[in-house]
Structure 1
């Protein structure tokens, strides 16, 4: 039984909302300054991946995350654009504009770069990156997925600007959820049982055509909830970063590798 929501020390609106949801269901909340072996086996984690790597072993939580190359291996019928998984060193050789982002963490800003020379020099060359064609998104949505089904979600941006709105108030939610159900039912969309998937309505500069596309997938335990239901987001997070002893066999291959190394060493 998960008794405690363990938070990293970074205060965020999402962490506050999740803490309130946890207390409402009778859980305790612990803000961590470091490893907490006293919480081992009875806590779930929410916070950044770097701090997670320092405390995961003491908590004995299994941190689920999609594969770094998940987006690049997803069939183009879902992404509607060419996406390549590569390294920062290779991306620095780009001589045309591209959208470049880290696969999961926030080691540098995900953005459109005029060419590879504009990428941050401080990021090591071996750092994994995703390089994709540039798309304009009319609207972008974050979906918290639990056991292959959308559990809750919200719009988070329109035309690249932050613009949260609950799904219940968005006129496109029906089309969005239909697209998401088809995606999550596709065996090629190989994801953990608890995860966040971002989906966008993409437009083109020269036509009025719009299409649904997958933006990315992320760790639920390191995702802003925007306008989604905090309690239902918490359900997904408890499954995505809960006690390792409760981890379903099917999700073992999605456990964060660094955590596996720390836990065994």
Structure 2
């Protein structure tokens, strides 16, 4: 049987390096997806992916990748007792049409998963950076987090976790030994049974300044920094979230990233289009 491969982007992040080390300990080869020649060399082999969504969209068909991602509306569908703020999923067109409407000032806006524009707090819709009109946008009330944590979940259980920010500033640290470790694990357990996620997911949670715990957002594990989380646990999640299409579990198929429509550069082609 051909050994599986972990393909990574040419951007050598600390997480990619740590995952490559964890992969090597399991006998997995790590290859940089440097161009068409690399993709052709990997053809027919079981490939997993860690890297950005734009390159993933270009190589997924040739490498027969099944890429799992949270639904765009996942955060907006959560009960407010898990978010403690109003959140809605809209589009860039609809947000910019609200220029000057006071209920939108200030507001936090971000794309649900792709980095089509930087997330941030905007005083008015006129300040929103340009993007395609149909770009999905999550708009929410502004809240302040005392500490924020990234959870890597596998089958609903915590596979790895790390603190990544304190009072909005990057400050990674292992969850073990963190003063809020027990509370983080307890809050992670509360997420099970609410709005569904893929079996392999990355979810950010945080402690608000008022002492309540809240979900920050969900992420694609194959494009999420591990920060100070255990690389082996992160790798477990990444391998499930981005691997051979024909090994995707039935329950995960609704969460497959759609193939891009090359004519429009929008993700409109249904996942079934990648089925052999």
Change in CA separation of 1:156 and 1:27 when aligned onto 2, cut-off 3 Å? same
Question: What SS does the corresponding residue of 1:126 show, helix, strand or coil?
Answer: coil
Change (3 A) 1:68 1:2: farther
Indicate whether 1:52 and 2:56 are aligned: yes
Q: Deviations over 1:42-66 (max 9, x none)?
A: 1100000010001011111110001
CA RMSD of aligned residues (A): 1.6
Matched position secondary structure for 2:117: coil
Matching of residues 12-161 of structure 1 within 5 Å: 12-35=13-36, 36-39=39-42, 40-92=44-96, 93-94=98-99, 95=101, 96-121=105-130, 123-161=131-169
> Residue deviations 1:147-203, cap 9 Å, x none?
11110110000111000010002110101111110112x2x2200000100001012
Question: Displacement of 1:33 after TM fit?
Answer: 2.2
Evaluate the alpha carbon distance shift between residue 129 and residue 182 of structure 1 in structure 2; reply closer, same or farther with a 3 A threshold. same
**How many residues are aligned here?**
257
State the 4+ residue runs in structure 1 displaced beyond 6 angstroms: none
Report deviation, 1:2: 6.0
Instruction: Give the TM-score normalised by structure 1.
Output: 0.93
Structure 2 segments unaligned to the other structure (5+ residues): 261-270
Q: Post-superposition shift, 1:261?
A: 6.7
How far apart in 1 are the matches of 2:117 and 2:94? 16
What is the distance in 2 between the residues matched to 1:263 and 1:183? 31
Q: What TM-score do the two structures reach when normalised by structure 2? A: 0.89
Change (3 A) 1:237 1:189: same
Q: Distance in 1 between matches of 2:27 and 2:78?
A: 40
Match of 2:173 in 1: 165
Q: Which residue of 2 aligns with 1:4?
A: 5
